[in-house]
Amino acid sequence: MNLLFWGLTVSVIGKVMLAIGVLIAHSELAHEKKIDLKVLKSFKMEHTLTITGLVLILAGYLMEIYFYDFVSMLTCSGADCALNAAVILSQ
């Protein structure tokens, strides 16, 4: 398994965690129809899942950038960028 696989996998896990966190909190609020301790606990869980999901999405993105060797695109300028882009696109 290569870095692209792990980048995509981590990114998808982060997106799923984000969706689950939002669904948990909103379904709890819709069910209770008032804000009480149970709803506040679900919001705390949503917060944790959302932060973890965002970190995983970012980590997956960085893995994909590194796998496709776009790191060289971050430090180039002018003709060097054009050459780097041509090399990346020809792969």
Count how many Cα atoms sit within 13 Å of the Cα of residue 77 in the half-sphere of its side chain.
Answer: 0
User: How many domains, in total, are found in the chain?
Assistant: 1
pTM for the structure as a whole: 0.64
Q: Give the residue, 10 or 38, on which the prediction is more confident.
A: 10
pLDDT tens-digit profile of 34-73?
A: 777 877 787 788 888 888 888 888 888 888 878 877 766 6
Q: What pLDDT is recorded for position 73?
A: 62
7 lies in which domain range?
A: 3-90
Continuous segment of H or E residues that includes residue 3: helix 3-32
Q: Are 88 and 74 in contact (CB under 8 A)?
A: no
